[in-house]
């Protein structure tokens, strides 16, 4: 493992729903330490003692609001520009590309990511439904698409790799012909209805809906035609409810019914009995309606609250049936119940913070559950409720306690016990099931469901198998890389402390001291193999982002910097305390702004670049003490939220900055040390760039991780392309992908501190092709050369093979010694010992050498080129190289 490439952290950011333009940032409470994982610092324990459960619930809700506002600020646009619509179009284009690849069979030729994890820490799940076989289930995640697993919580398989966005509702019916996979219909991002009939290989959009503003629900009738139902708020008719049905396995939909008046709507369809094939209940505003012919016509029933503006309907087949509906009137949600099939309603309960999740038992009409931070369960028809478990108890028993934030409930008849319910609870920590009406729960996501949500990761340069990560709602985590044994995530992560953490940074790239931020304090994790946690306050009087950035000093591991309206310097004292001083008198708060990213030049740490949330850029030549504001020729620069900075590894005067590219260029670049910046987004879609990284092989290639995918910029043509080309994808990348409503994820290039001439793999020249559809949060680690065996077989016989290996070993020794190896000489030496086909491959490699990299006095070392198929990590010392010759590639050194 010691020769694994050093994985540099990447940041994947969450998307969010609409929120206020800016939310005030108050001091946050300390989150719960997970004591079974690590002993918390005294400061954390003391803070926990002072907290009350109610106080923490209020803090969680406030933090969620602030996070939504932060996401809005990050997606900065000109007035009238809808960034969500732009990303929807980006996603649609990518879906079309994937469908075309899948139909042609070309997608199978693409090298997939190797998924690292998390294997055991799941993120937000929205919905679930049973497969037609009764033994499997489909479940929708926040951005991880659709998954299929069994009822025991294992054998999870992603079906939504080619699907844009998350899955918020799901319905399934048997395949059209015997032996066909189920037809699965989902509600995805931007209110899009999608259907797959080949287990996610391709996705299609059904026709017939016309224009609508919102999808309010999906369901199925248990009839001979396997009817699928979709309820929308139609664009015509004043935005009234319209019910569409499909009887051709989801290919086309026709409108069966449209309500006469406008208003938010909700539907419920019985899950068992004769009524499951005919009856549909519809709520519009505060009134109930019933259909007994599959939604073709409806009859009005009772009115619960005529002034209601929104509604969520559910029911129990037991009774007449028993209906429950949550109605919003004046901003207050109240629960209403009907014991006579909707003819009349009573209001037994007023709901507090409501996430729009409501469900009732199929067999016991008195059991109903609603959700917010916790799941609230009633056994007396809603007269009163008790929580299934407190959100904090999850950390002591994640297998049997619900995680916080309940966004989806689904109840079906239990296939193993047809007289009982099977409940599913979607939380921010995975999917749970219950077979006793919600009295107890079991976590189905303890292994193999790759839907974690991460802000930031950092892999140790000292021990490359160690990974730390900051998650959304799953805390600060640490894992030790486990080699993949098949598909799916391979590595378990331990949650050290709960909460949201980002901007992991380390002075020397190790885990000896890792600094990160939580919304309200700074977290220090100290210890390469064991983590001791402590916290520091934000600087007094600082104005900063919701999750402010911190950057470690590359020259002193006892120093790091806090980015706000000014640049604060934290210095560790000899007694173990930390002092806070201003590194500079420069005020970056022009127009009320604050710094959002900062980077030191690797070859000249005195040169520093910084950017703020308003698109203003500064540079410093004395380690950040004094600053000069840069100029930019990018149009609309005032709409640029600076998010990521990468400085060229060999040229301190070249720097690229990425950020919101909806109303201006998403990437800008300087080649004169920051004096001026120019747009650098030829070929890059309108999107938000989350991370940038230069290649370190001398090519000057720039990798960009953005909301629409990933791209590579070649100096030759200065054009951004999807990072799929093997010519550029020879660097290990670590990807932290989030599962929320946008495709937010990032790529960071592996950048070792030095090119190790004696160790060919120290340069990290392992490669992964970019693929947007592997839904594990971390995708990385080496690909090994699948052509190594073919190369060995193409050498004529053992004697010639031995000659080739000796020649290669001599080249490597020459690199490590005093005699450098020119590029062409190295390639010709291999070609001399190869059959014609291999000589042709070598000529192809030579032709790849760019015109701007002609022999100009630089020398080159032989390093292994690694192609396509992921395999388990191998040793890469000298003996391994002798045993296993590989195709080679010349890479510039110096």
Element (H, E) at 84: helix 83-104
What is the rounded CA–CA span in Å between residue 782 and residue 802? 27
Residue 11 lies in a domain: no
767/818 same-domain check? no
Six-digit token pair at 619?
């540079």
Share of the chain above pLDDT 70, in %: 72
SS (H, E, C) 817-869: CCCCECHHHHHHHHHHCCCHHHHHHHHHHHHHCCHHHCCCCCEEEEEECCCCC
Residue 731 lies in a domain: yes
Measure the N-to-C terminal CA separation of the chain; round to a whole number of Å.
27
Helix (H, G, I), strand (E, B) or coil at 461: coil
Boundaries of domain holding 844: 788-893
Residue 163 lies in a domain: no
815/889 same-domain check? yes
Six-digit token pair at 692?
């940038």
Six-digit token pair at 252?
């086309």
Kindly tell me if the per-residue pLDDT of 449 is higher than 60.
yes
764/856 same-domain check? no
pLDDT digits (tens, 9 = 90+) for 676-710: 999 998 888 999 999 899 988 888 889 888 888 77
Q: What is the total count of domains within the chain? A: 2
CA distances in angstroms from 759 to 392, 733, 861, 881, listed in the order given: 48, 20, 11, 10
Determine if the peptide bond prior to 118 is cis (ω within 30°). yes
563/456 same-domain check? yes
DSSP string, 787-813: THHHHHHHSSSHHHHHHHHHHHHHHHH
458/583 same-domain check? yes
Contact 741, 166 (CB under 8 A): yes
Angle made by CA atoms 156, 160, 163, in degrees to the nearest 5:
170
pLDDT digits (tens, 9 = 90+) for 97-117: 888 888 887 766 555 567 888
Judged by average pLDDT, the poorest of 261-265, 487-491, 618-622, 750-754 is: 750-754
How far is Cα of residue 309 from the mean position of the Cα atoms in its chain? 34
Alpha-carbon dihedral angle through residues 46, 51, 52, 54, given to the nearest 10 degrees: -160
Q: Which residues pair with 185 in a beta bridge?
A: 171, 195
Alpha-carbon dihedral angle through residues 718, 722, 724, 727, given to the nearest 10 degrees: 0
Domain boundary among 779, 796, 825: 779
- Residue showing tokens 């390639």: 827
Element (H, E) at 267: strand 265-268
Angle made by CA atoms 581, 587, 590, in degrees to the nearest 5:
150
Q: Name which of 264, 267, 260, 261 is nearest 244 in CA terms.
A: 267
575/490 same-domain check? yes
What is the rounded CA–CA span in Å between residue 778 and residue 489? 8
pLDDT digits (tens, 9 = 90+) for 72-99: 999 999 999 999 999 999 988 988 988 8
Domain boundary among 753, 779, 805: 779
| Share in percent of the chain as helix, strand, coil (round to 5) | 15, 35, 50
What is the rounded CA–CA span in Å between residue 401 and residue 410? 17
CA count, 13 A, side-chain hemisphere, 241 = 24
475/516 same-domain check? yes
**Which of the two residues, 57 and 516, has the higher pLDDT score?**
516
Residue 353 lies in a domain: no
Helix (H, G, I), strand (E, B) or coil at 386: strand
pLDDT digits (tens, 9 = 90+) for 280-335: 999 998 999 999 999 999 999 999 999 999 999 999 999 899 999 999 999 999 99
- Residue showing tokens 């020459």: 814
| 519-522: long-range contacts, CB 8 A cutoff, minimum separation 24 | 519/25, 519/28, 519/63, 519/66, 519/67, 519/546, 519/547, 520/25, 520/26, 520/27, 520/28, 520/29, 521/27, 521/28, 521/30, 522/550, 522/562, 522/570
What is the rounded CA–CA span in Å between residue 20 and residue 85? 18
What is the rounded CA–CA span in Å between residue 147 and residue 134? 16
For strands 265-268 and 280-284, give the pairing. antiparallel
Contact 493, 120 (CB under 8 A): yes
550/474 same-domain check? yes
Average pLDDT of the chain to the nearest whole number: 78
803/760 same-domain check? no
Q: pLDDT confidence of 793, banded at 50, 70, 90?
A: very low
Dihedral class, residue 437 (left if φ above 0, else alpha if ψ from -120 to 50, else beta) = left
Judged by average pLDDT, the poorest of 233-237, 573-577, 788-792 is: 788-792
Residue 832 lies in a domain: yes
What pLDDT was estimated at residue 732?
Answer: 40
What is the rounded CA–CA span in Å between residue 534 and residue 46? 12
Kindly tell me if the per-residue pLDDT of 847 is higher than 50.
no
888/755 same-domain check? no
Residue 721 lies in a domain: yes
Domain boundary among 779, 799, 821: 779
pLDDT digits (tens, 9 = 90+) for 604-619: 999 999 999 989 999 9
Six-digit token pair at 85?
């619509």
Residue 456 lies in a domain: yes
Give Rg (Cα) of the chain: 29
Mean per-residue pLDDT for 496-511? 95
484/565 same-domain check? yes
What is the rounded CA–CA span in Å between residue 745 and residue 12? 4
What pLDDT was estimated at residue 108?
Answer: 60
Contact 106, 97 (CB under 8 A): no
How far is Cα of residue 262 from the mean position of the Cα atoms in its chain? 37
Six-digit token pair at 290?
């019933």
What is the rounded CA–CA span in Å between residue 160 and residue 94? 13
469/577 same-domain check? yes
Please state the φ and ψ torsions of residue 525, each to the nearest 5 degrees.
-115, 110
Residue 709 lies in a domain: no
CA distances in angstroms from 668 to 503, 601, 700, listed in the order given: 22, 17, 15
Read off the pTM.
Answer: 0.77
């Amino acid at each position: 493992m010691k020769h694994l490439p050093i994985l540099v952290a990447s940041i994947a950011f969450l998307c969010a729903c609409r929120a206020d333009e800016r939310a005030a940032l108050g001091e946050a409470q300390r989150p719960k330490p997970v004591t079974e994982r690590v002993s918390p610092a005294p400061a954390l324990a003391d803070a926990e003692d002072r907290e009350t459960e109610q106080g923490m619930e209020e803090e969680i809700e406030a933090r969620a609001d602030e996070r939504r506002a932060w996401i809005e600020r990050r997606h900065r646009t000109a007035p009238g520009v809808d960034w969500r619509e732009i990303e929807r179009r980006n996603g649609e284009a990518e879906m079309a590309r994937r469908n075309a690849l899948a139909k042609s069979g070309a997608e199978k030729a693409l090298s997939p990511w190797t998924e690292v994890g998390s294997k055991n820490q799941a993120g937000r799940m929205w919905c679930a439904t049973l497969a037609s076989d009764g033994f499997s289930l489909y479940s929708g995640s926040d951005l991880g698409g659709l998954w299929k697993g069994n009822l025991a919580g294992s054998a999870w398989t992603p079906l939504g790799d080619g699907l844009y966005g998350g899955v918020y509702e799901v319905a399934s019916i048997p395949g059209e012909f015997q032996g066909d996979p189920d037809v699965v219909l989902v509600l995805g991002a931007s209110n899009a209805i999608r259907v797959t009939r080949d287990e996610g290989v391709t996705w299609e959009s059904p026709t017939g809906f016309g224009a609508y503003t919102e999808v309010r629900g999906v369901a199925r009738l248990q009839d001979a035609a396997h009817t699928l139902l979709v309820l929308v708020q139609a664009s015509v008719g004043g935005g009234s409810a319209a019910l569409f049905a499909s009887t051709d396995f989801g290919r086309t939909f026709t409108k069966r019914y449209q309500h006469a008046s406008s208003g938010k709507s909700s539907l419920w369809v019985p899950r068992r009995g004769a009524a499951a094939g005919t009856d549909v209940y519809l709520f519009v505003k505060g009134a109930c309606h019933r259909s007994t012919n599959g939604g073709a016509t409806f009859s009005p029933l009772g009115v619960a609250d005529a002034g209601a503006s929104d509604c969520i309907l559910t029911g129990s087949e037991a009774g007449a049936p028993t209906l429950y509906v949550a109605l919003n009137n004046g901003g207050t949600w109240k629960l209403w119940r009907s014991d006579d099939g909707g003819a009349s309603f009573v209001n037994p309960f007023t709901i507090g913070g409501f996430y729009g999740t409501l469900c009732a038992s199929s067999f016991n009409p008195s059991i109903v559950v609603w959700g917010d931070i916790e799941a609230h369960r009633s056994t007396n028809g809603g007269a009163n409720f008790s929580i299934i478990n407190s959100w904090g108890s999850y950390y002591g028993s994640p297998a049997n306690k619900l995680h916080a934030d309940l966004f989806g409930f689904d109840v079906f008849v239990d296939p193993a016990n047809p007289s009982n319910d099977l409940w599913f609870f979607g939380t921010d920590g995975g999917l749970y099931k219950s077979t006793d009406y919600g009295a107890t729960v079991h976590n189905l996501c303890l292994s193999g469901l790759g839907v974690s949500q991460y802000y930031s990761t950092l892999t140790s340069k000292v021990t490359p198998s160690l990974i730390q990560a900051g998650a959304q709602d799953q805390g600060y985590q640490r894992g030790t890389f486990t080699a993949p044994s098949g598909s799916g995530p391979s590595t378990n992560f331990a949650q050290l402390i709960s909460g949201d953490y980002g901007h992991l940074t380390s002075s020397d790239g190790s885990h000896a001291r890792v600094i990160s931020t939580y919304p309200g304090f700074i977290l220090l994790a100290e210890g390469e193999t064991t983590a001791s946690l402590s916290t520091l306050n934000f600087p007094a009087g600082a104005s900063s982002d919701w999750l402010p950035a911190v950057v470690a000093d590359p020259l002193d591991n006892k120093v790091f910097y806090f980015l706000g309206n000014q640049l604060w310097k934290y210095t560790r004292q000899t007694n173990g305390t930390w002092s806070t001083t201003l590194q500079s008198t420069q005020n970056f708060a022009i127009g009320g702004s604050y710094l959002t990213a900062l980077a030191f030049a690797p070859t000249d740490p005195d040169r520093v670049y910084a950017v703020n949330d308003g698109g203003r850029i500064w540079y410093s030549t004395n380690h950040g003490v004094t600053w000069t504001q840069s100029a930019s020729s990018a149009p609309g620069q005032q709409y640029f939220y600076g998010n990521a900075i990468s400085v060229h590894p060999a040229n301190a005067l070249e720097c690229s900055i990425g950020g919101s590219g909806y109303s201006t260029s998403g990437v800008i670049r300087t080649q004169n040390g920051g004096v001026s910046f120019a747009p650098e987004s030829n070929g890059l879609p309108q999107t938000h760039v989350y991370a940038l990284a230069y290649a370190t092989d001398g090519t000057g290639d720039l990798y960009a991780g953005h909301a629409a995918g990933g791209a590579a910029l070649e100096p030759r043509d200065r054009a951004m392309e999807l990072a799929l080309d093997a010519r550029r994808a020879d660097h290990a990348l670590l990807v932290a992908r989030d599962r929320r409503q946008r495709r937010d994820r990032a790529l960071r290039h592996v950048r070792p501190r030095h090119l190790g001439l004696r160790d060919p793999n120290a340069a990290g020249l392992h490669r992964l092709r970019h693929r947007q559809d592997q839904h594990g949060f971390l995708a990385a680690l080496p690909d090994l050369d699948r052509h190594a065996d073919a190369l060995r077989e193409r050498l004529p016989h053992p004697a010639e093979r031995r000659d080739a290996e000796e020649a290669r070993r001599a080249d490597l020794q020459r690199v490590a010694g005093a005699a450098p190896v020119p590029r062409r000489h190295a390639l010709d030496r291999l070609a001399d010992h190869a059959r014609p086909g291999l000589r042709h491959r070598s000529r192809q490699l030579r032709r790849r050498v760019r015109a701007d990299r002609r022999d100009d006095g630089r020398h080159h070392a032989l390093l292994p080129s690694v192609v396509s198929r992921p395999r388990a990590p191998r040793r890469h010392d000298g003996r391994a190289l002798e045993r296993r010759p590989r195709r080679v590639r010349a890479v510039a050194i110096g």
